[in-house]
Amino acid sequence: MLKKRSNCPIGCSLDVFGDRWSLLIIRDIMLRGKSSYSEFLESEEKIATNILADRLQLLEAEQILSKQVSPGNKSKYIYHLTQKGIDLVPIVVEIMDWGTKYYKDCPIRELGAKIKKDKAGAVKELYRVLKKKQTN
């Protein structure tokens, strides 16, 4: 378990997902459908292998992610969001919405457009999709 640096709920939360890499891994699973180590390495941000391994281990230890052996390849793990990870949907959506509001050079993709049109509906739909993946 991670040693918390304070008793503040925001501080405790940031200890888990507040660094750049942890949140991008969560984004990749939540919004981009990635689930394997090799898929995370392919992300445009180019995370180093040692940092990726460390963050996956942290997120699993904190029960944000779970991992399972891939049915198609016994030497490969597949990562999924737990309920605790799925509960980050509104936070990720708000960060995304904030980013598109203040950084005009960041493209508004399909989900960003849905968020602009109906944020509550987009959050609800993301929950539904992620819960379905969790039960499969």
CA dist 9 and 44 (Å) reads 31
- H-type helices in the chain, by residue range? 9-17, 20-32, 37-41, 49-61, 83-86, 89-102, 110-117, 119-135
Spatial separation of the C-alpha atoms in residues 136 and 101, rounded to whole Å: 35
In contact, 28 and 21? CB cutoff 8 Å: no
Provide CB contacts within 8 A for 84, sequence distance 6+: 62, 63, 64
CATH class of the 9-135 domain in this structure: mainly alpha
Residue 85: Cβ-neighbour burial (10 angstroms; 0-12, 13-18, 19+) = buried
Give the tens place of pLDDT for each residue, 75-84: 899 999 999 9
pLDDT tens per residue across span 24-70 = 999 999 999 999 999 999 999 999 999 999 999 999 999 999 999 98
Instruction: State yes or no: pLDDT of 112 exceeds 90.
Output: no
pTM equals 0.88
Instruction: Look up residue 109 and give its two tokens.
Output: 């993709």
